[in-house]
Chains A and B, each alone.
Chain A
Amino acid sequence: MSVARLKPVPASEPSGGGFYAAAEKIYPREISGRFARLRQAAVVVLLGLFYGVAWLDWHGHQAVLFDLPARKFHLFGLTLWPQDFLYLALLLIIAALSLFFFTALAGRLWCGYACPQTVWTELFVWIEQWTEGTRSRRMKLDRGPWTAEKLLRKTLKQTLWVALAAWTGFTFVGYFTPIRMLGAGVVSLSLGPWSTFWIALYGLATYGNAGFLREQVCKYMCPYARFQSAMFDKDTLIISYDEARGEPRGPRRRGAAPRPLGLGDCIDCTLCVQVCPTGIDIRKGLQYECIACGACIDACDDVMEKMGSPRGLIRYTTEHAMHGRATHLVRPRMLVYAALLLVASGALSWSLVTRTPLILDVIRDRNALYREVRGDKIENAYALKVINLDDRAHSYRLGVSGMDGLELSAPTELISVPPGSVSNIPARLDAPAARAGGVHRIALTLAATDASGISVRENTRFIGPSP
């Protein structure tokens, strides 16, 4: 006789005592299945990018480097300056709108697969499982006395955790200080005090959040967990237990038909609770602690298959589908989020494509409105600030327009500016006195002499004697 009641392991539910109840340590049970594989793939891809991209080079400089000491951001071929703050603002708006869009569409995808908290916790749990074993072994180890084996396993775990956290802190700071220089500094023990401080702070945060706090970050510290439900409606994809199908729950023999026994499909094995990284019971309904990782779906599908019942007692579904109604993918909320997202992305792409890596600031001479020169000409003086935002040197020719007889008397030669540099240049314009009376709106143009086609136009005024 094979009884399907699985190992009677305590379900370790949080005691639900509210704000001040002692948090019970959660021992998430190891899990395999569709959603576990998806999350593992996300961990490999996202952390691979994080740890790897810092070492990429692009045309002789680090490909992604937020060079704070030099106040320049390198993003592959693009160099952004503090003047380009607009792009960063747009990027943040796009990120927020994407979060809204995907939350309304498919619930907490972010929490389950992409949030750094989830991704690093997953990595730390892998280390924990590798050093301390399965869930039941970990629980036994923690309850038991301090034997040599316990000491060894715990030491190994902590060593790996600290090493990983330190490497994470180092990589993080490597996005702000050239990482090879940083590495050389670490190796030769000549790291500056601030780099050391930031590596330690970020390493400590990683260790604390992923090793120690884990689900408590989601439950007590994450603002998104609290307001994400505002983006939810009855057509949002959620993870849900099919109560109508599962209840009344209870153990039964493998292969026994539940209905004649007066039972639903849930065999009350509590595996869904044991695998939950936040320690909730999904059968109690949707809770804000649920980070939608899908571990309970994997666990339950496995059990249902063993029992010979169809999968999906716990599944991704919508509230409408659960009540036998149609789910609408397209709804006003989605259209609004999508439209806003398109506008913001369009604005970012357009401004990046049309971005000119050259800035010309024109300031009129503050000392004199105008000067009479050579008897028959009126001269105005300007201070030019030429900022070459490109990562190549350029030579520019200055031109003037907007007024008859207006001529450039200085500078007559080309203006050369090294990459990423500023040149301050005095400029003088003159015009025949007969035509110069009053205030004229004129324009200065600066055009690169090479094939890059870079040019800018800046409006200013030319002032002559009152007519």
Chain B
Amino acid sequence: MSASPEPERRARGLDIALVLWPSFLAACAASLLFFAAVDPAMLRDGGPRIFAGLDREAGYALGFLFFWGIGALASALSIYLVRTERGSRLPPGAS
């Protein structure tokens, strides 16, 4: 495979998609399950102080973004490990 900038840019774009997309799906599922059981207002009223002043809308949004972030971290780590594996048939430019 050539090392021209075009495939490299494309590999980078694909990596970003592969990090953001599965973690987005996982965040949807996690938010659904979590917020079916937990009311964000409950965290505000009876939870630790970092949740003070959190309204429901912000609670849902931040919860979703939190799950998405954690998922993205896991996806990114997976991709990094696959790309940097010795003898990987994938080009180093993609790591």
Answer yes or no: A82 CB below 8 A from chain B CBs: yes
Among A20, A69, A195, A221, point to the contact of B17 (Cβ < 8 A): A221
The A-contacting residues of B in range 36-90, CB under 8 angstroms, are: 36-37, 39, 55-58, 60-61, 90
Q: Contact between B57 and A22 (Cβ–Cβ < 8 Å)?
A: no
Task: Assess whether B7 is interfacial by the CB under 8 Å rule.
Answer: yes
B57 pairs with A192, CB closer than 8 A: yes
Q: Which chain B residues (14-50) contact chain A, with CB distance < 8 Å? A: 14, 17-18, 21-22, 25, 32, 35-37, 39
A194 touches B11 (CB 8 A): no
Residues in B whose Cβ lies below 8 Å from that of A223: 22, 25
Q: How far is the CA of A19 from the CA of B10 in the complex (A)?
A: 9
CA distance A23 to B6 in the complex (A): 10
User: Which residues, 176 to 232 on A, are CB-close (under 8 Å) to B?
Assistant: 192, 194-195, 197-198, 220-221, 223
- Chain B interface residue count, Cβ-Cβ cutoff 8 angstroms: 25
Per a CB cutoff under 8 Å, which of B7, B21, B56, B90 touches A22?
B7
Contact assessment for B6 and A22 in the assembled complex, using a CB-CB cutoff below 8 Å: yes
- Chain A residue total in the interface (Cβ 8 A): 20
Which residue from chain B places its CB closest to the CB of A198 in the assembled complex? B61
> Judging by beta carbons under 8 Å apart, are B6 and A71 in contact?
no
What is the bound-complex CA distance between A221 and B58, given in angstroms? Answer: 29
B91 within 8 A of A: yes
- Assess whether B57 is in contact with A68, with CB atoms less than 8 Å apart: yes
Pairwise interchain contact B17-A194, C-beta atoms closer than 8 A: no
Assuming the A-B contacts A82-B36, A82-B37, A88-B36, are A20 and B11 also in contact, with contact meaning beta carbons closer than 8 angstroms in the complex? yes
User: Distance in Å from the Cβ of B94 to the closest Cβ of chain A?
Assistant: 7
Q: Let me know if B10 and A20 touch, CB within 8 A.
A: yes
**Chain A residue nearest to B57 in the complex (CB):** A194
CB-defined interface of A86-104 with B at 8 Å, one 1/0 digit per residue? 0010000000000000000
Which chain A residue has the least Cβ–Cβ distance from B9? A22
Contact of B57 among A20, A69, A82, A220 (CB under 8 A): A69
Note all chain B residues with C-beta closer than 8 A to A194. 57-58, 60-61
In the complex, chain A residues whose CB is within 8 Å of the CB of B7: 20-22
Distance in Å: Cβ of B32 to nearest Cβ of chain A: 8
Residues of B within 8 A of A69 (CB): 55-57
B56 touches A71 (CB 8 A): yes
Per the bound structure, the CA–CA distance linking A71 and B18 in Å amounts to: 32
Say if the beta carbon of A85 comes within 8 Å of chain B: yes
Nearest CB on A from B53, distance (A): 14
Nearest Cβ in chain B — how far from A397, in angstroms? 30
Which residues on the A side are within 8 Å of B35 (C-beta)?
Answer: 82
Q: Are B90 and A68 in contact (CB under 8 A)?
A: no
A71, B61: Cβ atoms closer than 8 Å: no
Inter-chain contacts of B61 with A (CB < 8 A): 194, 197-198
Task: Say how far B41's CB is from chain A's closest CB, in angstroms.
Answer: 8
Interface pair B56/A20, CB less than 8 Å apart: no
B39 and A82 contacting across the interface, CB-CB below 8 Å: yes
Q: Which residue on chain A has the smallest CB distance to residue B24?
A: A205
How close is B64's CB to chain A, nearest CB, in angstroms?
9
Across-interface contacts of B10 in A (CB, < 8 A):
20-23
**Among B10, B32, B36, which residue has the most Cβ atoms of chain A within 10 A?**
B36
A328 to B: closest C-beta gap in Å: 35
**Smallest CB separation, B20 vs chain A (Å):** 10
> Which residues of B lie under 8 Å from residue A198 when comparing CB positions?
61
Contact B58 A220 (CB under 8 A): no
> Is A20 a contact of B36 with CB atoms below 8 Å?
no
Q: 25 pairs across A/B with beta carbons < 8 Å?
A: A17-B1, A19-B14, A20-B1, A20-B7, A20-B91, A20-B94, A21-B7, A21-B10, A22-B6, A68-B56, A68-B60, A69-B57, A71-B56, A82-B35, A82-B36, A85-B36, A85-B37, A88-B32, A194-B58, A194-B60, A194-B61, A220-B14, A221-B21, A223-B22, A223-B25
Chain B residues with CB under 8 Å of chain A are 1, 6-7, 10-11, 14, 17-18, 21-22, 25, 32, 35-37, 39, 55-58, 60-61, 90-91, 94
8 shortest interchain CB distances as A-B pairs = A85-B36, A20-B7, A194-B57, A194-B61, A22-B6, A69-B56, A221-B21, A20-B11
- Residues on A lying within 8 angstroms of B by beta carbon are 17, 19-23, 68-69, 71, 82, 85, 88, 192, 194-195, 197-198, 220-221, 223
Known: A85-B36, A221-B18, A223-B25. 15 other contacts (CB 8 A): A19-B14, A20-B7, A20-B10, A21-B10, A22-B6, A68-B56, A68-B57, A82-B36, A85-B37, A192-B57, A194-B61, A198-B61, A220-B14, A220-B17, A223-B22
